[in-house]
Amino acid sequence: MLDALKNMLNQFRPEADSTNDSQNDVELALAALLFETMRMDHDCKPEEEARVLKLIAGKLQLDEAGARELMDRARQSIDEAQDYQQFTSQINREYSTAQRVRLLDLLWQVAYADGHLDPLEEAWIRKVADLMHLRHSEYIGSKLRVMESMGMH
C-alpha cells in the first residue's frame, strides 16, 4: 500500500531530465526563431544561413555539426508548427526580459546579414517582439543597436 502511494506521488514529481528537456526545448525554440527569420523573405542567402549557424553555435556552445543538426530540427519544428507561439512561449518561460531583448538582437543580426532588411523580415521581428511581450521601445532600441553594430544606416 505504501509503495503504491509512493509510486503514485512520484508520477507528479519532475523527472531528473526535466531540466535538460526544458533546456533542449528553449534551444530548439531559439534556433527555430533564428531559422524562420532567415527564410522569412523567401530568399535564404548564404550570408544569412552562415549567420544563423554561427549564432546557434556561439550562443549554445555547439560545434558546426551540432549547430547544423539543431538548425535542421528547427526547420522541421517550424514546418510542423501551427503557430509561432509554441516557440515564443517557451522563450517567455525560460528567459528574462533582458535575455528576450538579446534574442531580438540576434533576429535583427540575421535579418541584416545580407545587407538588406526586407519588409517581411521587419514585420516578422515585430511579431516575435510582441509574442515575447517586449515593449516597442525595446524593439526599436534593439534594431538601432544592431544597425549601428553592423554599420547599417
Give per-residue pLDDT as tens, 5-30: 444 444 433 343 444 566 789 999 99
Rg (CA), the chain: 18
Render pLDDT for 79-129 as a digit per residue (tens, 0 to 9).
999 999 999 999 999 999 999 999 999 999 999 998 889 999 999 999 999
Q: Which fold has domain 25-149?
A: TerB-like (1.10.3680)
User: pTM for this structure?
Assistant: 0.82
Question: Can you give the residue ranges of every domain in the chain?
Answer: 25-149
Within 8 A by CB and 6+ apart from 87, the residues are 28, 29, 32, 33, 77, 81
Return the exposure string of 97-131: e unless at least 16 CB atoms fall within 10 Å of the residue's CB, then b: eeebbebbbbbbbbbbbbeebeeebeebbeebbeb
